[in-house]
Amino acid sequence: MISSSRALGALSRVRYSARAFVSSASLSSVRVGALLLLFVCFGLALPLFAEDGGKATTEAVATSQSAAAAETAQAMTGEALAEKIANQSEISTTYAAVEIELIDAAGNSGYLRLKQYSKIYSGSEKGAKKNGVSLIEFVDPASVKGTRFLVRGNSQWVYLPALKKVRRVAAGDRDSSFMGTDFSYGDMDFDKKTEDYTYTILREEKLFGSDCYVLETLAKDPDKAQYDKTISWVDKVSYLPRKSELYRKGEHLKTVTIERIEKVQGHYTPIVTTMKTEKTGHQTVLTIKGFVYDKKLPDALFSKKYLQTGVL
């Protein structure tokens, strides 16, 4: 077993920083690179899922491929695909119960369990832009229970029960592992903008039995991007990336795959997602145990008071 104290240790090394970060993020400006399923598993950006009023299983998603093919008779451009992904849904909140399995290259494993809440404030509620907030609360194992993580835009704070303190995540920690997983703190930011990237459809091919667009996303300013290139296999029906390869300076750093999709309240939702670090072979498998869209969430849940006390 991987010691769960390793995850706590990763958090305890987070440095305090008074540096201010941009905190606003528009739902329509979330770049396709954010569709790396980070938002699916942690809800740190509102899920940009295709909407549908019916209910279906993973098998039903596969059987609808022929209908999607008929709808894509006209050529799709990279930019049009990115906008379609980013503007599909008007979801106000999400709640998820998530189980995380950490697997090293030798096959040893450990686990974490958490609850995640996220919310988008519309322009009429919180000013001119839509602003995203998210709270993660770890519930198991005992060594990390009570650890809470708050995100506003790309500003982040963490509460460590062992220290009884709230600390701001410093800009220099953006590449550090989040709780011993294959996700970094930088992966968790809300503030990802479609206009900061260019998009090219390289080809069309099948993956996991689904017809997909293979989309290349390139950062206009590579020095400012978490990943300067992403190759994603975007499902033509759900518009979810079944697989994404993440690159920086020519190096293939990570790969994200969605192994299982289901519909929840009419929204295509990734249920099992894996993030793999290519250099080490370490993997993080996220399984959604419960998911609710548009659940009424009080603003106090996303306050620093709740972050520190766990009390509304």
Is residue 241 within 8 A of residue 37, CB to CB? The reply is yes
Which sign does the torsion angle of CA 106, 143, 256, 272 carry? positive
Task: Kindly tell me if the per-residue pLDDT of 142 is higher than 70.
Answer: yes
Tokens of 102: 């950490």
The pLDDT of residue 255 is 96
Q: Find, among 244, 249, 195, the residue nearest to 33 by Cα.
A: 244
Banded pLDDT at 284 (limits 50, 70, 90): very high
The pLDDT of residue 71 is 46
Banded pLDDT at 152 (limits 50, 70, 90): confident
Task: Kindly tell me if the per-residue pLDDT of 293 is higher than 80.
Answer: yes
Q: What is the pLDDT of residues 17-74, one digit of tens each?
A: 222 222 222 222 222 222 223 343 333 222 333 333 333 333 444 444 444 444 444 5
Task: Kindly tell me if the per-residue pLDDT of 112 is higher than 70.
Answer: yes
Lowest mean pLDDT of 34-38, 105-109, 239-243, name the range.
Answer: 34-38
Q: How many residues are listed for the chain in this entry?
A: 312
Which range scores top for mean pLDDT: 95-104, 116-125, 129-138? 95-104
The set of residues, in sequence order, having a beta carbon less than 8 Å from that of 26 and lying 6+ positions away, is 129, 130, 193
The count of other CB atoms within 10 Å of the CB of residue 164 is 9
The pLDDT of residue 110 is 95
- Cite the DSSP H helix spans in the chain: 5-12, 38-42, 58-63, 65-71, 78-86, 123-126, 304-309
Of 124 and 266, more confident: 266
The pLDDT of residue 264 is 93
Q: Find, among 194, 247, 245, 243, the residue nearest to 222 by Cα.
A: 247
Q: What is the pLDDT of residues 175-225, one digit of tens each?
A: 889 889 999 888 877 666 778 899 999 999 999 999 999 999 999 999 988
The pLDDT of residue 122 is 61
Mean per-residue pLDDT of the chain: 76
Lowest mean pLDDT of 79-88, 89-98, 201-210, name the range.
Answer: 79-88
pTM: 0.76
Which sign does the torsion angle of CA 210, 76, 56, 268 carry? positive
What structural domains and CATH numbers belong to the chain?
5-307 (2.50.20.10)
